[in-house]
Amino acid sequence: MKKLMALFMVMILALSIAGCKNETITDQGKSEGGSTTKDNAVSKSSDKLTVAIWDTNQQAGLQEIMNDWSAQSGVKAEIQVLSWDEYWTLLEAGASGGSMPDVFWMHSNNSQKYIKNNLLLDLTDQILASDKIDMNHYYEDISELYAMDQKQYAMPKDIDTIALWYNKTMFDEAGVPYPDSTWTWDTLYETAKKLTKDDGSQYGYAINTGNNQDSYYNAIYAYSGKVISEDKKTSGYDDPKTIEAMEVFEKILNEGLSPNLQIMAENGADVLLKSGKVAMITQGSWMVPGFRDNEYTSENCDIAVLPKAPDGTRVSIYNGLGWAAAANGKNTDAAWSLIEYLSTKEAQLKQAELGVTMSAYKGTSEEWKNGVPYFNLQAYLDMLDATLIIRPYSLSTSIWEDMVNKELRAAWSGEATMKDTLIKIAESMNKTLAEE
Amino acid sequence: MMLRINNNKQRNAQFLWGWLFILPTMIGLIILNIIPIFRTIFQSFFKTGDFGKGNIFIGLQNYSKLFEDTEVWQSLWNTIKYVIVEVPVSIMIALIIAVLLNQKIKGKSIFRTIFFLPMIAAPAAIAMVWRWLYNSQFGLLNNVFNLDVAWISDPSIAIYSIAVIGIWSVVGYNIVLFLAGLQEIPRDYYEAARIDGASGINQFFHITIPLLSPSIFFVSVTRMIAAFQVFDLIYMVMTDTNPAIEKTQSLVYLFYQYSFTYGNKGYGATIAVLLLVVIMMITGIQIYAQKKWVHYS
Amino acid sequence: MKSRDYFFKTIIYVVLLMSSFVMLIPFIWMILTAFKSITETTNIDPFVIWPSTWRLEAFKRVLENMNFVMLYLNTLLMIAGRILAAVLTATLAGYAFGRLHFKGRDIAFSLVLFQMMIPGQIFVIPQYIMVSNMGMLNTIFALIFPGLVTAFGTFLMRQSFMGLPKELEEAAYLDGCNIGQTFLFVMAPLTKSAMVALSIFTAVFAYKDLMWPMIVNLDKDKSTLASALAKMQGQYMSNFPELMAAALIACIPMVILYMIFQKNFIEGIATSGGKL
């Protein structure tokens, strides 16, 4: 035992010393960067950029693109994946006095907070000076997520849309035609009726109660209702149009065409589709890899555009991540150069081609649909031509979204009417918005 | 006795050696933990800005909000329910198993290793297996025993279902400590008892329990403190659309929501202070009550 | 008499076997999942218990993609460093808190308890900033850092020292030992099983800690097993067979270490015999 301990101790000492030698060079640079001295002795060409993301499924594809950039610039870029919670803890720790990664993803839930506190590198001048970038090529609302006071703090990385997944086998069995572009949300309700079996072995439609973006938000805006007003001061949940749209879902749940709230909370819509429990779900383009790798869904399921409102409006809520750099990074020139490259048509095309995600650069996503031959991914691209509404947000999105999720359970379970619930939600949300 | 003979000199020596011995721990704790703790307590008097900048002093406003916040008190109640189930049950089970593992039986080291395993199981596996066991429609429990119980989405029982996962995951912890404690009980005691004709159960209550009481005390204090901070299990198993979330979320869960999800560090800190006060009271009672039942030789 | 013993033995085995099985369920689940297809892992109706065929792909892929040698090494160094620091500091402090009487002791000890009463999440950001300012990100030292001292361990060792008989200490004083010598030669060796328990816990807690290593050592080469496993979980979907295969491979050194350590529990019996 004692010998073992002694051995450990020697190993520790040896390794921590060896560790120190390697680290002093690179880390001094970092801490200096932290104290805003930008120029340092570290030679830039030999340097490497640390890139942080939170989705392991995108790592391989993005690294390939970054390697192209490294080949041009001579600077290495290494992607590090964290899980979602740790990712934001890291950024927050970095923002509160530690060091941040050089280049990282930004999400609309948090972007305003980071911009307001001057933590993101202001890219405005570089964008103007760049001959590779023209902001008109990107979906405007995504750029907007990462801008404040006419300044741009992150470049749009990708875009996601929502579409309708359906189980062909179940449709065939019931002798019902597949969903198409003529469908309204009422058609979805009517069809769900035909596809629901009384014994609870099969449901027509499952609403993803945990994720608003891929379910009811789309209907709300199609019915020309809203979640939050343009000026982000008032809630739109008490808008009669919003209520009308939400009552479609109320009907679906009350009539047992969807698994009940309990089953939904325990399982999630995608799992229910994968297990052959539901005939239809609405899901975002980010879920494609999960359905692609699943034998059941790849054999039995396909995709169609979302239904439209009675007046013919078809809406997809969309969102997109941004590439941002640390304002106090040690090598902001290289960081910008990487972000610039990632935003070029070439890199954005490759991102779609490799099947990483659809790209934020307009017209580069065509290739993405060939990624999975057995799904009609064109539906997601068609949704880009529908009315695109950016995922509603304000400074306190996460607070009121949580509240809405909780309050809505009363309506989903039938304890309260949808209308009453929504009016209550609107009141509470207005209070939160007033405090912003 | 000797301690009293050489009073002054001894006292000085004890003072010097005492501080020398605790110095590394104290310095480390103060830098690593105590300063952040006081900063947190301090924060509870502020409306906090993002990233620790732009805090506005608001006095006791967070506290007056706390007293009216039914969600907080419900969470405290949930936490207490969890503690009341998890701590005693896990201690009793662990005590029995540790004593059994201390008998002359075959395969002892294999059994010991098995009980150790849950402590190193990957969280993803733990979450997956329990969700499968508890799933109301498709889960193992309901299907095997032909029940219709919504283990984790029925508000009146979900917290107990989570406590069961808690028991399962800490039993190994308690067993390790009890096994360590059992080694310190001299064998001769049992031999003497056996000659006197005491039964196994008699030995358990008259030798094992009293002599193991320092370990039991340690386990109950540390488990109580840790159980009051239950977070991971709830975070892993529950979603915020679960109908039972209000009746299962713990104080630390709420603290986490406010501090990290909602970015309201000040109110999060206030919740942490409430937790601190509750734990301090209960630990205080335990330390006071130990004189009644814990035997130090 | 003989038959009664036999009866009790049987009961003991039945209880142990049944409870072992319950304890093992997640491991059985992990093993089964590692051999399943992705489709089988996401099906809930019916839940798939047995893989339709025993696939080895997940293990192959994981072994190809992850540098387990590096991960083992980093994890072991972190664990060794934390055990060393914890046993050292906690044994010293535990002795002082448990057996010495001096001014300021109770206040100091209440600070120790204090640390355990606050949710650990509040320490992550301040400690990250400290390591970052020291310029020690992406080092083994960063992994060890939060475990340099341990309130839990101090409390554990204090309890263990408090359980030792007074006579030993007094005899040592009479022999002319000062407090330091008494501690080192007489008292500390008697708390060996508590030190082993402390080492086991330190190892387990360090092994399971995923947030700290993940944020403090972004560098893949300085990652630990737990954080590398956590990274495998995608934002929306996870490859469960690979995740479980990796988790199983990651467990192996911990199990071996535990088996080595638990021998010391058994040795503990021998030492305590001559204690009184």
For C258, which of B32, B113, B226 is closest by C-beta distance?
B113
Over residues B234-283, the pLDDT tens digits come to: 988 888 788 899 999 999 999 999 998 888 999 999 999 999 999 999 99
The beta-carbon neighbor of C132 closest among A34, A84, A275 is: A34
- Confidence tier at C20 by pLDDT (50, 70, 90): very high
C200 near C261, Cβ under 8 Å?
yes
Find the CB nearest C44 among A23, A99, A267: A267
Q: How far apart, in whole angstroms, are the C-alpha atoms of residue A15 and residue C221? A: 14
Residue C192 in contact with residue C268, Cβ under 8 Å? yes
Q: Nearest Cβ partner of A210 from B50, B239, B263?
A: B239
Q: List chain C residues with CB under 8 Å of B176.
A: 197, 200-201
- Which residue pairs from B89-94 have beta carbons closer than 8 angstroms and sit at least 24 positions apart in sequence? B89/B163, B89/B167, B90/B166, B90/B167, B90/B170, B90/B171, B90/B174, B90/B223, B91/B174, B91/B216, B91/B219, B91/B220, B91/B223, B93/B167, B93/B171, B93/B174, B93/C19, B94/B171, B94/B173, B94/B174, B94/B175, B94/B178, B94/B219
**Contact state of A82 with C44 under an 8 Å Cβ cutoff:** no
What's the confidence (pLDDT) of residue C170?
86
Give the model's pLDDT for residue B6.
62
Q: Measured between CA atoms, how close is C157 to chain B, in angstroms?
A: 10
> According to the model, what pLDDT value does residue C267 have?
52
- Using the Cα atoms of residue A136, residue A138, residue A141 and residue A146 in order, give the sign of their dihedral: negative
Nearest chain C residue to A275 by CA distance is C43
C187 part of a folded domain = yes
Of the listed ranges A328-337, B145-154, C43-52, the least confidently predicted one is C43-52
Facing residue for B153 by CB, picked from A85, A113, A265:
A265
Instruction: Indicate yes or no: CB of C119 within 8 angstroms of CB of B297.
Output: no
Answer whether residue C272 is part of any domain: no
CATH number belonging to domain A162-318+380-434: 3.40.190.10
Among A266, A407, A412, A433, most B C-beta atoms within 10 A, so best to mutate, is: A266
Burial A223-235 (b: 16+ CB within 10 A, else e): bbbbbbeeeeebb
Sort residue B147 into left (φ over 0), alpha (ψ -120 to 50) or beta.
beta
**Residue C198, domain member (yes or no):** yes
Is C92 a member of any domain? yes
State whether residue A312 is helix, strand or coil: coil
Question: Cα separation of C34 and C55, whole Å?
Answer: 8
Q: Shortest CB distance from A89 goes to which of C37, C134, C211?
A: C211
Domains A47-159+320-362 and A162-318+380-434 share a fold: yes
Spatial CB neighbours of B157, under 8 Å, sequence gap ≥ 6: B149, B150, B151
Instruction: Return the pLDDT at A76.
Output: 93
Report residue B76 as tokens: 């405290």
- At C145 the pLDDT is 96
- DSSP-assigned letters across all residues of A99-134: ---SEEEE-TTTHHHHHHTT-BPP-HHHHHH-SS--
Residue B136 near chain A (CB below 8 Å)? yes
Per-residue pLDDT, averaged over B158-181, amounts to 92
Residue A80: in which H helix or E strand, if any? strand A76-81
Inter-chain touch A266–B243, beta carbons under 8 Å: no
CA-based torsion, A129, A133, A137, A143: positive or negative: negative
Specify the residue for token string 């907070």: A113
Residue C274, pLDDT > 50, answer: no
Subunits in contact with chain A (3 or more CB pairs closer than 8 Å): B, C
Q: Which residues of B touch A408 (CB under 8 A)?
A: 241
Q: Is A40 on the interface with C (CB under 8 A)?
A: no
Has residue C271 got a pLDDT over 80?
no
User: In b/e form, how buried is each residue of A163-178, taking b as 16+ CB within 10 angstroms?
Assistant: bbbbbeebbeeeebee
Q: Under 8 Å CB-to-CB from A138, ≥6 apart: which residues? A: A155, A156, A343, A360, A361, A362
Domain total in chain C: 1
* Residues of chain B with C-beta less than 8 angstroms from the C-beta of A402: 240, 257, 261-262
Q: Which residue of C has its CA nearest to B102?
A: C266
Which residues of chain A have a pLDDT value below 50? Answer: 1-46
Distance, CA of C37 to chain centre: 32
The pTM of this model reads 0.89
Reading the block at residue B28, the tokens are 């480390």
Which of B51, B136, B242 comes nearest A95 by C-beta?
B51
Taking phi over 0 as left and psi of -120 to 50 as alpha, with beta for the rest, A96 belongs to alpha
Q: Is it the case that residue C275 has pLDDT exceeding 70? A: no
CA distance A392 to chain B (A): 17
Say what the pLDDT of residue C245 is.
Answer: 93
Q: What is the pLDDT of residue A168?
A: 96
Beta carbons of A266 and B136 less than 8 Å apart:
yes
Q: What is the average per-residue pLDDT within B188-203?
A: 84
Higher pLDDT, B70 or B188: B70
Q: Identify whether C86 is part of a domain.
A: yes
**CB A239, CB A425: distance < 8 Å:** no
Residue C266 pLDDT greater than 90, yes or no: no
Contacts of C135 in chain A (CB under 8 A): 23-24, 27-28, 30-31
Average of per-residue pLDDT across C39-66:
86
Distance CA C66, CA A254 (A): 49
A25 shares contact with chain C (CB less than 8 Å): no
- For the segment A385-423, what is each residue's pLDDT rounded down to a tens digit? 999 999 998 888 889 999 999 999 999 989 999 999 999
B-C C-beta contacts closer than 8 Å: 283
Whether C214 sits inside 8 A of A83 (CB atoms) is yes
Residue C175, domain extent: 66-231
Structure tokens at B173: 């912890």
Tokens for B185?
């009980």
A128 burial (CB, 10 Å; 0-12 / 13-18 / 19+) is: exposed
Q: C133 CB near a chain A CB, below 8 Å?
A: yes
Q: Contact B120/C254 with Cβ under 8 angstroms?
A: yes
Question: Do C244 and B122 lie within an 8 Å CB cutoff?
Answer: yes
* Residues A267 and C42: beta-carbon distance below 8 Å: no
Provide the shortest C-alpha distance from residue A266 to chain B (in Å).
7
Continuous H helices in chain C: 2-34, 38-42, 57-65, 68-99, 105-116, 121-133, 140-144, 151-162, 166-174, 179-181, 192-208, 211-216, 225-231, 240-273
Does residue C1 belong to any structural domain of this protein?
Answer: no
CATH topology of domain A47-159+320-362: D-Maltodextrin-Binding Protein; domain 2 (3.40.190)
Q: Do C140 and A19 make contact, defined as CB atoms within 8 angstroms?
A: yes
Interface probe for C, chosen from A3, A10, A15 (most Cβ of C below 10 Å), is: A15
Q: Residue C5's pLDDT is what?
A: 77
- Token pair recorded at residue A29: 């640079």
Tell me C187's DSSP state: I
Please give, rounded to a whole number of angstroms, the shortest distance from the CA of B111 to a CA of chain A.
23
Query: Which residues, at least 6 apart from C188, have a Cβ–Cβ distance to it below 8 Å?
Result: C91, C95
Residue C158 belongs to a domain: yes
Amino acid at B207: I
Q: Tokens 């406010």 sit at which residue?
A: B258
> How sure is the predictor about B2, in pLDDT bands with cuts at 50, 70 and 90?
very low
CATH number, domain with residue C205: 1.10.3720.10
Please list, residue by residue across C144-183, b when 16 or more beta carbons sit within 10 angstroms of its beta carbon and e when fewer do.
Answer: bbbbbbbbbbbbbbbbbbbbbeeeebeebbeeebebeebb
Q: C218, C224, C264, C265: best mutation site toward chain A, by most A Cβ within 10 Å?
A: C218
Residue type, A420: D
Please give, one letter per residue, the 3-state secondary structure of chain B: CHHHHCHHHHHHHHHHHHHHHHHHHHHHHHHHHHHHHHHHHHHCCEECCHHHCCCEECCCHHHHHHHHCHHHHHHHHHHHHHHHHHHHHHHHHHHHHHHHHCCCCCCHHHHHHHHHHHHHCCHHHHHHHHHHHHCCCCCHHHHHCCCCCCCCCCCCCHHHHHHHHHHHHHHHHHHHHHHHHHHCCCHHHHHHHHHCCCCHHHHHHHHHHHHHHHHHHHHHHHHHHHHHCCCHHHHHHCCCCCCCHHHCCCHHHHHHHHHHHCCCHHHHHHHHHHHHHHHHHHHHHHHHHHHHHCCCC
Average per-residue pLDDT for chain C: 87
- Looking at the partner chain, which of C215, C231, C232 has a beta carbon nearest the beta carbon of A93? C215
Q: For residues A313 and B187, give the distance between their C-alpha atoms in angstroms, rounded to a whole number.
A: 83
pLDDT of residue B132: 84
- pLDDT category of residue C265 using cuts at 50, 70 and 90: low
Residues of B in contact with A396 (CB under 8 A): 262
Contacts of C174 in chain B (CB under 8 A): 2
Q: Who contacts B176 (Cβ-Cβ below 8 Å, separation ≥6)? A: B116, C197, C200, C201
- Specify the CATH number of the domain B66-293: 1.10.3720.10
Q: Tell me whether B26 touches chain C (CB under 8 Å).
A: yes
Domain chopping of chain B, boundaries: 66-293
Q: Among all residues of chain B, which has the CA nearest to that of C201?
A: B173
For the segment C148-205, what is each residue's pLDDT rounded down to a tens digit?
Answer: 999 999 999 998 898 888 888 888 888 888 899 999 988 998 888 889 889 989 999 9
The label of the residue with tokens 């980010």 reads A286
Cα–Cα dist A270/A281, whole Å: 8
Domain-by-domain residue ranges, chain A? 47-159+320-362, 162-318+380-434
Provide mean pLDDT across the span B73-87.
97
What would the two tokens of residue A273 be?
Answer: 């589709």
A279 CB-side CA count, 13 A: 30
Element of type H or E holding A281: strand A278-284
Chain B contacts of C20, Cβ < 8 Å?
111, 114-115
Q: How far apart are alpha carbons A1 and B297 in whole angstroms?
A: 28
- Cβ(B123)–Cβ(B263) below 8 Å: no
In this prediction, residue C276 carries a pLDDT of 29
